[in-house]
Structure 1
Amino acid sequence: MYRPPVLLVAAVQLVLVSLAGSVLHFYGRPVTALSVFIGGALCALPNAYFGFRAFRHRGARDADRVVASFYRAETGKFILTLAGFAAVFAVVRPLDAAALFISYSCCIILQWLLVARLVR
Structure 2
Amino acid sequence: MTKPPVLVIAAVQLLLVSLAGAVLHLNGKPVTALSVLIGGALCALPNAYFGLRAFRDSGARAAHRVVGNFYRAETGKFVMTLVGFAAVFAAVRPLNAAALFISYGLCVIVQWVLVARLVR
> Is the structural similarity TM-score above 0.5?
yes
Structure with the largest fraction of helix: 2
1:39 and 1:3 map into 2 onto residues whose CA distance is 24
Partner of 1:81: 81
Aligned residues, how many? 120
TM-score (norm 1): 0.96
Question: Where has structure 1 moved over 3 Å in runs of 4 or more?
Answer: 1-4
1:113 and 1:27 map into 2 onto residues whose CA distance is 28
Shift of 1:118: 1.9
Partner of 2:103: 103
CA shift digits 1:38-58 (9 cap, x unpaired): 000000000000000000011
CA shift digits 1:58-94 (9 cap, x unpaired): 1111111001000000000000000000000000000
Q: Does structure 1 residue 70 correspond to structure 2 residue 74?
A: no
Identity of aligned residues (%): 77
Q: Look up the equivalent residue of 1:33 and give its one-letter code.
A: A
Shift of 1:3: 6.5
Partner of 1:35: 35
Task: Let me know the Cα RMSD of the aligned residues.
Answer: 1.3
Partner of 1:115: 115
1:3 and 1:33 map into 2 onto residues whose CA distance is 30
1:35 and 1:2 map into 2 onto residues whose CA distance is 33
Query: Counterpart of 1:62 in 2: which secondary structure?
Result: helix
Query: Counterpart of 1:61 in 2: which secondary structure?
Result: helix
Partner of 2:46: 46
Task: Tell which deviates more after alignment, 2-11 or 46-55.
Answer: 2-11
Shift of 1:119: 2.4
Change (3 A) 1:11 1:31: same
Q: Look up the equivalent residue of 1:114 and give its one-letter code.
A: L
Partner of 2:12: 12
TM-score (norm 2): 0.96
Shift of 1:2: 7.8
